[in-house]
């Protein structure tokens, strides 16, 4: 009390003091009751998805000093669910810092997304690491754990599009562009037509209608929009259209409203459904609901394949991994469709996958906040493969931003397309942007094996050398020749093993092993030098008893695989050099010495080295035609290790490999 009252009032009577304290307690109780009533009302409004109205109450209560996990979570969510992620940062932070016990991990994910919306990526990654620690089975967490360098990939993927402003945007929302095959773009807009428009409770924006704009000669600019005619537009939301190739059939999203009847879920919520309409004399008629829709879950955002046989869409129907997934149905005719099929874990996560677009060549573009991105919804691409669709790849900047980016469409012939975003600098809440694609997107993990073929003696490049690339099964993938500078290059998938077989006239052939990793667009530089046959055979070499031909001829080490005695294609190249020098010196005799590493038992290694020695001698005598009296062998097992890797001493695979070898010792 001393901070509020002067010293002279300390003589106030005890009775008056008690009365004043009682007054304060009653006032506090009344205020607490009022706050509880406000919160109860806000919670009811929040449950009905009227986030803007609920937010106003929550903010008022928070500013009066009230604090609770429920208040902060719902206040943050009221910003998050209406696309205002940057405004949710403060409240998710309070929730996580003040109430860390029994915290729903989903709020960590939303907080990380919100931090990305203001480009605080390091902080977002720290929060995502917490999310991963708690929920390791969550696909979003696993994507993050496997792609912690996602910003590097997005940078690599970026700058493949040029953006252009559009004049059709209003101060409200425009999104979901689609091609109607009539040289028009059809899109959803909440632009105000008069002063009697109705506001949607979710974000207090006018309800959406469908409009069409003619595409001008530059394939980018659009004419002033005109509202679609017929029964397709109503006083509720319509959006997300997809047209048949002849332009006479359209699939579209709408609130659960048909024949002047508004449908609600068991919880009393009006959800989204897919409808079909046909064009008659310029007017859209015959509105029918698709049979796999329901009052109790949303089905929306259709995309029709070019042949009209498949329809892709987003839904939170049973069988959904997360908040919304992408599905596909087969169109069977006569308003008959197959059962919806989930597109699977390469596409769908526990987050939001939505707004699919299937291009004319079958490539899938969609928006997601479950895959790793820049913040909010990002646009991803996935190409068709034998299993359905490939892994999903962020399309990079400038298409994606820290805000919501969605409803991407692309004409693959002109490379012109459109998408929507609520990024900064727009005219309204959501705006449509046009773009031109200038480079192909990365749609698989690929690397490069490249280098220069040179003369071992002179160092000069070898032109027209033959380079054959084989996979791990020895199947030929591709054959090329080195260019005028001796250079070669192969583009190959990640995480694979390869063999390079290199040949050039008058040179000893070589086989080189190559292995790719999981780094996108990484360059594996492998320069290869070839030994001139004539030079090798015409050069006088001083050879003494006890010398190792491996060192004299500068051979690549002849190694064996773990637990095998197989002569590999790479080993054959080196053995051919031994055979060549023995043909040059008919009196030369050698001893093949085979060795193992220390793993396994002494007697097992002894037996294995015998097998390796015999395989090597057999190749030289039978394949090389060298008289057997000139080649003998010895098997040492693990007795002559080159390094410290004895029993019970931990060593790397490379260190063990040093010991699994053959030597070629001159004995005459």
Q: In Å, what is the CA distance from 46 to each residue of 38, 39, 76, 499?
A: 12, 10, 12, 62
When comparing pLDDT for 80 and 539, which is higher? 80
Strands 431-437 and 161-164: antiparallel
> In the prediction, which pLDDT does 20 show?
41
CATH number for the domain spanning 364: value is 2.120.10.30
Rounded CA-CA distance 216/219 in Å is 6
- Identify whether 28 is part of a domain: no
Confidence of residue 19 (pLDDT cuts 50, 70, 90): very low
Rounded CA-CA distance 62/42 in Å is 12
* Cβ–Cβ < 8 Å for 591, 546: no
Rounded CA-CA distance 57/74 in Å is 11
| Residues in Cβ contact with 142 at an 8 Å cutoff, skipping those fewer than 6 apart | 132, 136
Name the residue among 182, 160, 157 with its Cα closest to residue 436.
160
Beta bridge partners of 632: 591
User: Which phi and psi angles does 288 have, rounded to 5°?
Assistant: -130, 145
User: Which phi and psi angles does 379 have, rounded to 5°?
Assistant: -95, 135
Domain check: are 110 and 214 in the same one? no
Domain check: are 290 and 426 in the same one? yes
Rounded CA-CA distance 257/450 in Å is 60
CA gyration radius, the chain: 36
Report for 406-410, 474-478, 598-602: range of highest mean pLDDT: 406-410
> In the prediction, which pLDDT does 552 show?
74
Q: Tell me the average pLDDT of the chain.
A: 88
| Residues in Cβ contact with 37 at an 8 Å cutoff, skipping those fewer than 6 apart | none
CA angle 541, 543, 544 (to 5 degrees): 160
> In the prediction, which pLDDT does 39 show?
85
Confidence of residue 510 (pLDDT cuts 50, 70, 90): confident
Q: In Å, what is the CA distance from 132 to each residue of 44, 93, 325, 349, 373?
A: 32, 18, 21, 14, 16
- Identify whether 35 is part of a domain: no
Rounded CA-CA distance 85/78 in Å is 9
DSSP 237-262: -EEEEEE-TTSSEEEEEEESEETTEE
Dihedral sign of CA atoms 373, 374, 377, 381 in order: negative
Domain check: are 504 and 575 in the same one? no
Domain check: are 110 and 254 in the same one? no
Domain boundary among 117, 135, 153: 135
- Identify whether 253 is part of a domain: yes
* Cβ–Cβ < 8 Å for 226, 168: no
> In the prediction, which pLDDT does 193 show?
56
Confidence of residue 199 (pLDDT cuts 50, 70, 90): very low
Beta bridge partners of 511: 501
Q: Is the pLDDT of residue 251 over 90?
A: yes
> In the prediction, which pLDDT does 537 show?
59
Please measure the distance between the N-terminal and C-terminal CA atoms of the chain and give it in whole angstroms: 109
Domain check: are 390 and 495 in the same one? no
> In the prediction, which pLDDT does 509 show?
86
Q: What is the mean pLDDT of residues 524-537?
A: 81
> In the prediction, which pLDDT does 461 show?
96
- Identify whether 1 is part of a domain: no
Rounded CA-CA distance 202/199 in Å is 9
Per DSSP, helices labelled H in 118-219 are: 121-134, 139-146, 150-157
Our CA dihedral for 440, 151, 105, 271, rounded to 10 degrees, sits at -30
* Residues 304-336: tens digit of each pLDDT: 999 999 999 999 999 999 999 999 999 998 889
> In the prediction, which pLDDT does 6 show?
34
Q: In the chain, what's the furthest Cα-to-Cα distance?
A: 127
Range of the domain at 529: 445-539
Domain check: are 416 and 546 in the same one? no
Three-class DSSP category at 426: coil
Domain boundary among 539, 567, 591: 539
> In the prediction, which pLDDT does 545 show?
87
Q: What percent of the chain has pLDDT over 90?
A: 60
- Identify whether 402 is part of a domain: yes
Q: Is the pLDDT of residue 402 over 90?
A: yes
What does the block give as tokens for 69? Answer: 């996990």
CATH number for the domain spanning 88: value is 1.25.40.10
When comparing pLDDT for 556 and 127, which is higher? 127
Name the residue among 143, 137, 80 with its Cα closest to residue 110.
80
Domain check: are 417 and 510 in the same one? no
Domain check: are 109 and 248 in the same one? no
> In the prediction, which pLDDT does 32 show?
60
- Identify whether 533 is part of a domain: yes
> In the prediction, which pLDDT does 10 show?
37
Q: What is the mean pLDDT of residues 19-43?
A: 60
H helix and E strand count, the chain? 13, 36
Three-class DSSP category at 644: coil
Q: In Å, what is the CA distance from 256 to each residue of 176, 181, 231, 273?
A: 19, 27, 15, 6
At 561, which helix (H) or strand (E)?
none
Q: What is the mean pLDDT of residues 619-640?
A: 89
* Residues 201-229: tens digit of each pLDDT: 554 568 899 999 999 988 888 999 999 99
Beta bridge partners of 188: 175, 210
At 111, which helix (H) or strand (E)?
helix 105-117
What does the block give as tokens for 529? Answer: 């030098």
Rounded CA-CA distance 508/555 in Å is 12
What does the block give as tokens for 633? Answer: 């062998």
Confidence of residue 12 (pLDDT cuts 50, 70, 90): very low
Domain check: are 182 and 269 in the same one? yes
Domain check: are 525 and 550 in the same one? no
DSSP 34-48: HHHHHHHHHHHHHHT
Q: What percent of the chain has pLDDT over 70?
A: 90
When comparing pLDDT for 185 and 662, which is higher? 185
> In the prediction, which pLDDT does 205 show?
66
| Residues in Cβ contact with 6 at an 8 Å cutoff, skipping those fewer than 6 apart | none
* Cβ–Cβ < 8 Å for 356, 365: yes
CATH number for the domain spanning 483: value is 2.60.40.1120
Confidence of residue 531 (pLDDT cuts 50, 70, 90): confident
Domain boundary among 517, 539, 561: 539
Q: What is the mean pLDDT of residues 557-575?
A: 73
Q: Is the pLDDT of residue 139 over 80?
A: yes
Q: For the chain, what is the domain count?
A: 4
Give the start-end residues of each E strand in 472-614.
476-481, 487-493, 497-503, 510-515, 523-525, 528-530, 590-595
What does the block give as tokens for 239? Answer: 């959006």
Q: What is the mean pLDDT of residues 135-148?
A: 89
- Identify whether 29 is part of a domain: no
Domain check: are 400 and 476 in the same one? no
> In the prediction, which pLDDT does 140 show?
94
What does the block give as tokens for 598? Answer: 């220390």
In this structure, how many other beta carbons lie within 10 angstroms of the beta carbon of residue 353? 28
CATH number for the domain spanning 647: value is 3.30.1330.60
What does the block give as tokens for 176? Answer: 């979901």
Give the start-end residues of each E strand in 150-229.
161-164, 174-179, 184-189, 209-214, 226-227
Domain check: are 532 and 502 in the same one? yes
- Identify whether 51 is part of a domain: yes
* Residues 97-119: tens digit of each pLDDT: 999 998 999 999 999 999 999 99
> In the prediction, which pLDDT does 31 show?
61
> In the prediction, which pLDDT does 194 show?
45
Contacts of range 509-515, beta carbons closer than 8 Å, 24 or more positions apart: 509/573, 509/576, 510/556, 510/573, 511/568, 511/569, 511/570, 511/572, 511/573, 512/570, 513/570, 514/449
Which of 151-160, 297-306, 336-345, 577-586 has the weakest average pLDDT? Answer: 577-586
């Amino acid at each position: 009390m001393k901070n509020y009252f002067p010293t002279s009032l300390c003589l106030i009577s005890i009775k008056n003091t008690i009365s004043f304290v009682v007054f304060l307690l009653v006032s506090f109780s009344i205020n607490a009751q009022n706050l509880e009533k406000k919160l109860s009302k806000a919670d009811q409004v929040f449950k009905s998805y009227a986030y803007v109205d609920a937010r106003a109450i929550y903010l008022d209560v928070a500013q009066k000093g009230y604090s609770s996990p429920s208040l902060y979570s719902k206040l943050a969510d009221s910003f998050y669910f209406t696309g205002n992620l940057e405004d949710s940062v403060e409240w998710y932070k309070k929730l996580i810092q003040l109430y860390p016990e029994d915290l729903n991990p989903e709020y960590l994910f939303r907080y990380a997304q919100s931090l990305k919306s203001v480009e605080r990526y390091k902080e977002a990654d720290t929060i995502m690491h917490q999310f991963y620690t708690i929920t390791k089975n969550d696909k979003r967490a696993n994507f993050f754990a496997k792609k912690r360098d996602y910003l590097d990939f997005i940078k690599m993927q970026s700058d493949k599009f040029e953006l252009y402003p559009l004049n059709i945007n209003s101060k409200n929302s425009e999104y979901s562009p689609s091609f109607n095959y009539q040289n028009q773009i059809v899109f959803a807009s909440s632009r105000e037509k008069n002063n009697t428009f109705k506001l949607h409770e979710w974000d207090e924006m006018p309800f959406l209608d469908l409009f069409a704009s003619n595409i001008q000669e530059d394939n980018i600019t659009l004419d002033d929009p005109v509202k679609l005619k017929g029964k397709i537009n109503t006083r509720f939301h319509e959006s997300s259209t997809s047209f048949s190739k002849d332009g006479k059939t359209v699939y579209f999203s709408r609130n659960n409203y048909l024949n002047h009847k508004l449908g609600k879920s068991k919880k009393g919520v009006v959800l989204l459904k897919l409808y079909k309409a046909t064009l008659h004399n310029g007017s859209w008629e015959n509105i029918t609901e698709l049979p796999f829709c329901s009052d109790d879950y949303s089905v929306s955002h259709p995309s029709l394949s070019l042949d009209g046989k498949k329809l892709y869409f987003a839904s939170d129907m049973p069988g959904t991994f997360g908040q919304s997934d992408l599905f596909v149905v087969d169109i069977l005719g006569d308003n008959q469709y197959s059962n919806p099929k989930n597109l699977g874990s390469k596409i769908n996560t526990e987050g939001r996958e939505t707004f699919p677009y299937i291009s004319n060549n079958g490539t899938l573009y969609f928006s997601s906040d479950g895959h790793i991105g820049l913040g909010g919804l990002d646009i991803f691409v996935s190409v068709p493969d034998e299993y359905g669709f490939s892994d999903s790849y962020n399309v990079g900047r400038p298409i994606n931003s820290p805000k919501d980016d969605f409803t991407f469409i692309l004409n693959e012939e002109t490379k012109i397309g459109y998408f929507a975003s609520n990024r900064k600098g727009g005219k309204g809440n959501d705006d449509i942007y046009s773009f031109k694609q200038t480079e192909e997107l990365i749609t698989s993990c690929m690397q490069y094996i490249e280098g220069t073929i040179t003369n071992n003696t002179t160092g000069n490049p070898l032109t027209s050398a033959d380079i054959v690339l084989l996979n791990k099964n020895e199947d030929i993938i591709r054959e090329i020749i080195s260019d005028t500078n001796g250079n070669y290059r192969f583009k190959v998938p990640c995480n694979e093993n390869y063999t390079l077989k290199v040949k050039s006239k008058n040179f000893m052939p070589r086989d080189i092993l190559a292995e790719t990793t999981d780094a996108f667009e990484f360059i594996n530089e492998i320069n290869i030098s070839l030994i001139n046959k004539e030079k090798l055979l015409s050069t006088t070499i001083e050879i003494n008893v006890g010398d190792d031909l491996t060192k004299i001829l500068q051979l690549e080490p002849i190694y064996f695989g773990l637990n095998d005695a197989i002569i590999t294609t790479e080993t054959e190249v080196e053995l051919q050099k031994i055979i060549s020098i023995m043909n040059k010196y008919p009196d030369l005799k050698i001893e093949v010495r085979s060795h193992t590493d220390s793993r396994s038992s002494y007697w097992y290694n002894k037996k294995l080295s015998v097998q390796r020695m015999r395989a090597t001698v057999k190749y030289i005598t039978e394949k090389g035609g060298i008289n057997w009296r000139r080649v003998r062998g010895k098997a040492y097992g693990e007795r002559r290790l080159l390094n410290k890797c004895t029993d019970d001493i931990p060593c790397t695979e490379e260190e063990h490999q040093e010991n699994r070898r053959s030597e070629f010792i001159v004995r005459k």
